[in-house]
Amino acid sequence: MVEEAPQKKPRVGLFVTCLVDLFRPSVGFAAIRLLEQAGCTVEVPEAQTCCGQPAYNSGDFADTKDIARNTIRAFEGFDYVVAPSGSCAGMLREHYAELFKEDAEWGPRAHHVGHRTYELVSFLVDVMGMKGVEAHFDGTVTYHDSCSGLRELGVKQQPRSLLGSVEGLKLKELPGAETCCGFGGTFCIKYPDISDRMVSDKADDIVKTGAETLLAGDLGCLLNMAGKLKRRGEKVQVRHVAEVLAGMTDQPAIGEPGRGS
Partner 1 sequence: MQPTSHSFKENAHTALHDERLQRALGNMRAGFQDKRRAAIDKLPEFEALRDQGRDIKNHTLAHLDYYLERFERRVTENGGHVHWARTPQEAREKILEICRSVEAKTVTKGKSMIAEEIALNDFLEESGIEPIETDLGEYIIQIRKEPPSHIIAPAVHLNQSDVEESFRKIHTDLPADRPLSEPRQLLDEARAKLRNRFIKADVGITGANFLIAETGSTVIVTNEGNGDLTQTLPRIHIVLASLEKTVPTLEDAATIMRLLARSATGQEMSVYTTFSTGPRRPEDLDGPEQFHVVLLDNGRSAMLGTEFQEMLRCIRCSACMNHCPVYSVVGGHAYGWVYPGPMGAVLTPTLVGVEEAGHLPNASTFCGRCESVCPMRIPLPKMMRHWRKREYERKLSPAPYRSGLALWAFFAKRPALYQRLTGIAMKLLGRFGRDKGRFRSLPLAGGWTSVRDMPAPQGRTFQELYREKKGAA
Judge residue 257's burial from the number of C-beta atoms within 10 Å of its C-beta, 0-12 exposed, 13-18 middle, 19 or more buried.
exposed
Tell me which of 113, 121, 147, 177 binds partner 1, using CB under 8 A: 147
Tell me which of 4, 46, 102, 250 binds partner 1, using CB under 8 A: 46
- Site for partner 1 contains 58 (CB under 8 A): yes
- Site for partner 1 contains 165 (CB under 8 A): no
29 vs 42: CA distance, rounded Å = 11
Q: Are the C-beta atoms of residues 223 and 23 closer than 8 Å to each other?
A: yes
Site for partner 1 in 63-92 (CB under 8 A): 63, 66-67, 70
Q: How many residues are given for the chain? A: 261
**Of 4 and 224, CB closest to partner 1:** 224
Site for partner 1 in 112-131 (CB under 8 A): none
Smallest distance, partner 1 to C-beta of residue 187, A? 5
- Site for partner 1 contains 235 (CB under 8 A): no
Q: State which H helix or E strand residue 163 sits in.
A: helix 157-163
Tell me which of 134, 138, 167, 256 binds partner 1, using CB under 8 A: 256
CA torsion angle 93 239 243 18 (round to 10): 40
| Parallel/antiparallel/unpaired status of strands 237-240 and 213-216 | parallel
Q: Are the C-beta atoms of residues 91 and 113 closer than 8 Å to each other?
A: no
Tell me which of 47, 105, 168, 235 binds partner 1, using CB under 8 A: 47
Candidate ranges 1-9, 45-53, 106-114, 158-166; the one touching partner 1 (CB under 8 A): 45-53
222 vs 219: CA distance, rounded Å = 5
Tell me which of 33, 34, 38, 56 binds partner 1, using CB under 8 A: 56
Site for partner 1 in 176-195 (CB under 8 A): 178-180, 182-195
- What residue ranges in the chain does DSSP mark as E strands? 11-14, 41-43, 80-83, 117-119, 136-143, 167-171, 213-216, 237-240
From 106, 153, 103, select the one nearest 126 (Cα to Cα). Answer: 153
Candidate ranges 1-9, 112-120, 160-168, 175-183; the one touching partner 1 (CB under 8 A): 175-183
- Site for partner 1 contains 103 (CB under 8 A): no
Give the interface size with partner 1 as a residue count (CB under 8 A). 74
Smallest distance, partner 1 to C-beta of residue 163, A? 22
**Of 41 and 131, CB closest to partner 1:** 41
Contacts of 173 (CB under 8 A, 6+ apart): 142, 143, 209
**Of 107 and 252, CB closest to partner 1:** 252
